[in-house]
Chains A and B, each alone.
Chain A
Amino acid sequence: MKITKKAKREAKQLYRFCLLNGLLDENRARQVVQRFVATGERDCLPILTHFLRLVKLDCVQHTATIESATLLPEDLKTIVQTELAHRYGLGLTTAFAQRPELIGGMRIQVGCDVYDGSVRAGLEALKRSF
């Protein structure tokens, strides 16, 4: 399926309708999609496909994945969430996960930004240096 420039432009416009104070509002997004489908637009599928991509990108950019070798204490989780909110603003969803293969430390990914302080990352860097 080919997504034309016009479809991209309209999908971006729909995406802007879904923003509330610079953040994506899920309810508004559902309403926008329902109404758009109800209009019976001819290029409905390509526009919604691109709209879905934009929403996914937004979700990824506003989701922080925090991985650690061991379970983090609650106070440390709070500190991390505070730091992330300070850096990326409110509306950031955080997800904590335990990954023993990291050996030690923590790995945080927000969109394309990665903060990797794990022992595994250090060892990989050491391995690459050889």
Chain B
Amino acid sequence: MNAFIFLVAAQSDSQVAQIARTFGVDWPHLGAQIISFSIVCAVLYKFAYRRILEMLEQRRQQIALGIANAEKIKAELDKTESQRLEVIARAHTQGSKFIEEARAAAARVQQEETNKAVAAAEQIMNKAREAAAQDHDRMLAELKREVGNLVVQATTTVTGKILTAEDQRRLAEETSKQIAV
């Protein structure tokens, strides 16, 4: 800026000088202030502004890193969510499969138990039928025996009285004929 001023001053010294005088510019004093201001600017740049910029750069990097991490976390979260949904779906499928298998096993067991119960009932019925048939046969045999006894008793009682002497002789002769045979 100073060079520009000096160049402008060199080209139009008369006008500049006149304007400077009008506005009360003291060149040496202005030059000193410019130098001192430049020094202050340099010092500030070296010891304050550059560190602030570095700090800002670090903050910017941290923020970028944070954003990147957030995006990464979001991606991981999405991935985890998809995996969770997939696991849930798989678990649901597997659970449904287990339930179906359990239902099939329960139905099979129920069928087997039903078959066993039917067979046991059939066996009991057969045994009951056999027992009833045996009882029937036994009672029939007892009845026949009783009837036979009654018939024999009645015949014994009656026969002795109705057999005549001729009957007795005929019976004895029949026995005698058995010897000759």
A: residues with CB less than 8 A from B are 68-70, 72-73, 76, 79-80, 83-84, 86-87, 100, 103-108, 115-120, 123-124, 126-127, 129-130
Contact = CB atoms under 8 A, between A and B. Distances in A.
Determine chain B's interface SS by DSSP, over half rule: helix
B33 interface: no
Nearest to B173: A76
B172 to A, nearest CB: 4
B148 A106 contact: no
Contacts of B21: none
Interface string B142-170: 00110111011001100110010101110
Contacts, number: 82
Nearest to B145: A130
29 contacts: A69-B168, A73-B169, A76-B172, A79-B173, A86-B180, A87-B179, A100-B160, A103-B159, A103-B160, A104-B159, A104-B171, A105-B168, A105-B174, A106-B171, A106-B176, A107-B175, A108-B179, A115-B178, A117-B172, A117-B174, A119-B159, A123-B152, A123-B156, A124-B152, A126-B148, A126-B155, A127-B148, A130-B147, A130-B151
B168 A70 contact: yes
Interface of B: 144-145, 147-149, 151-152, 155-156, 159-160, 163, 165, 167-169, 171-176, 178-180
B175 A115 contact: yes
